[in-house]
């Protein structure tokens, strides 16, 4: 009996030698060495093994009951390795589908990895890596939770809940992991790999304790930047650009020279939210222009990413998580940052405090500096809602951006 496997491979039935072993008793004259065996065919190895490769597991004992139990166990293991885990006994590797086709009979982990590969082209590098890390963590515990033979079509809510509970995650990481799996199973559902409902949907979110984010004072931030300017200038420059932009590091890592229009004080970023990807123009404030000029002058061509290795322009962007690592190494772990009075300034706030501090400063200034350009148009058109006026006032965004470009922040 031939069984088709992944990538055109196949196998014969797995059989136990000696034949008729089930009829043996302790009084029988039975061989002490037994085998579990099948013939494995790999179309890429026909020249070496024209009649197939003999995949054999040998074991021996004087204890008949042990031999019988071991034979059944090894038969199950061999079938699982070949059929579910796609083991190739010739190459000693676990195969993956060359075509990356999803179908209901795939082992759960392989299906999750293919779904990840399909969706990762639409995800940021950091998010994609987080999802893949979760998949690998799940793969590591499958034996422990007893799900080694679990096919993707058989996955139910209780399997997901058991896996997430076993990983012993914090409430926040649990919820993020649940969201990652929900997205993967949404992809799998489209290929008939799951039932009518996404099995992750009924896994309840955990209640998270929302902590108040710590924010540095303006004066403390000045001290930090003064320190970085002499100790790690490229990080100082990135911090200044980031501070005056109120953006995200994941967005900044993808900015290339061609995306920046310094004459008009604008740069473009690709915003990835859900199914919609949109290019958005963002403003370069006057205070940030010198730092943007510096980084742009270091680019070799228009395709260079502004923040590559070392936070200088290069052909490849770095992972945004490196910013948090740098902040910890250069700022949080430092005992050399001093306040105005010469005392050691121990920083515990995250790098993201840049954005919160900037927006707080901007909000404080808004009543005195920023003008509300849309109110007269709203009154003139007699619109009840400002959103309605916005449909007609097509120049509103440009007028708002003009105010921002002229904004001076010390």
For 110-124, the pLDDT digits (tens) are 899 899 888 877 777
Burial class (CB in 10 A: 0-12, 13-18, 19+), 15: exposed
Residue 208 lies inside a defined structural domain of this protein: no
Residue at which a domain ends, from 40, 69, 94:
94
Cα–Cα distance, 188 to 152 (Å, whole number): 9
Question: Which has the higher per-residue pLDDT, 82 or 379?
Answer: 82
Residue 200 lies inside a defined structural domain of this protein: no
Question: Which has the higher per-residue pLDDT, 322 or 36?
Answer: 36
Name the domain count of the chain.
Answer: 3
Pick from 238, 185, 175: nearest CA to 210: 175
- Asked whether residue 245 falls in the same domain as residue 348, the answer is yes
Between the alpha carbon of residue 223 and those of residues 23, 175, 339, the distances in Å are 84, 37, 6
Residue 213 lies inside a defined structural domain of this protein: no
What range does the domain containing 235 cover? 218-404
237: pLDDT strictly greater than 80 = yes
Find the helix or strand (DSSP H, E) in which 336 lies: none
Cα–Cα distance, 184 to 132 (Å, whole number): 11
**286 bridge partner residues:** none
Question: Which has the higher per-residue pLDDT, 310 or 365?
Answer: 310
- Asked whether residue 257 falls in the same domain as residue 368, the answer is yes
Cα–Cα distance, 51 to 366 (Å, whole number): 80
Residue 409 lies inside a defined structural domain of this protein: no
How would residue 318 be classed by pLDDT, with cut points 50, 70 and 90?
confident
- Asked whether residue 78 falls in the same domain as residue 122, the answer is no
Asked if residue 111 lies in contact with residue 6, where contact means CB atoms within 8 angstroms, the answer is: no
Query: Phi then psi for 361, rounded to 5 degrees?
Result: -65, -45
Query: What does the pLDDT read at residue 101?
Result: 78
Residue 203 lies inside a defined structural domain of this protein: no
CATH of the domain at 290: 1.10.443.10
- Asked whether residue 321 falls in the same domain as residue 238, the answer is yes
404: pLDDT strictly greater than 70 = no
Query: What does the pLDDT read at residue 196?
Result: 80
């Amino acid at each position: 009996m031939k069984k088709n496997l992944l990538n055109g491979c196949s196998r014969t039935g797995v059989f136990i030698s000696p034949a008729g072993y089930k009829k043996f008793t302790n009084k029988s004259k039975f061989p002490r060495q037994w085998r579990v065996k099948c013939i494995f065919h790999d179309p890429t190895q026909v020249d070496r093994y024209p009649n197939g490769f003999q995949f054999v597991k040998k074991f021996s004992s004087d204890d008949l009951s042990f031999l019988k139990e071991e034979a059944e166990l090894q038969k199950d293991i061999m079938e699982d390795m070949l059929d579910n885990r796609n083991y190739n006994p010739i190459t000693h590797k676990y195969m993956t589908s060359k075509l990356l086709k999803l179908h209901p009979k795939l082992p759960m982990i392989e299906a999750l990895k293919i779904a990840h590969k399909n969706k990762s082209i639409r995800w940021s590098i950091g998010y994609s890596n987080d999802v893949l890390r979760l998949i690998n963590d799940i793969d590591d515990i499958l034996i422990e939770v007893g799900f080694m033979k679990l096919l993707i079509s058989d996955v139910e809510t209780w399997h997901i809940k058991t896996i997430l509970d076993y990983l012993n995650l914090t409430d926040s990481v649990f919820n993020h992991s649940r969201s990652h799996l929900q997205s993967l199973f949404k992809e799998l559902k489209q290929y008939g790999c799951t039932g009518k409902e996404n099995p992750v949907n009924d896994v309840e979110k955990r209640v998270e304790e929302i902590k108040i984010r710590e924010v540095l004072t303006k004066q403390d931030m000045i001290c930090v930047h003064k320190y970085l300017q002499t100790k790690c200038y490229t990080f100082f420059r990135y911090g200044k650009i980031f501070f005056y932009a109120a953006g995200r590091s994941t967005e900044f890592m993808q900015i290339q020279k061609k995306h920046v229009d310094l004459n008009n004080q604008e740069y473009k970023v690709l915003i990835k939210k859900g199914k919609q990807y949109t290019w958005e123009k963002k403003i370069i404030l006057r205070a940030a222009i010198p730092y943007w000029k510096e980084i742009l002058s270091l680019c070799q061509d228009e395709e260079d990413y502004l923040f590559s290795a070392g936070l200088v322009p290069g052909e490849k962007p770095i992972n945004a998580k490196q910013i948090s690592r740098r902040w910890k190494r250069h700022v949080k772990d430092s005992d050399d940052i001093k306040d105005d009075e010469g005392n050691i300034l121990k920083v515990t706030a995250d790098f993201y405090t840049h954005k919160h501090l900037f927006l707080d400063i901007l909000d404080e200034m808004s009543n005195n500096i920023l003008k509300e350009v849309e109110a007269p148009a709203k009154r003139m058109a007699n619109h009840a809602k400002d959103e309605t006026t916005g449909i007609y006032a097509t120049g509103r965004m440009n007028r708002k951006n003009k105010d921002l470009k002229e904004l001076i922040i010390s």
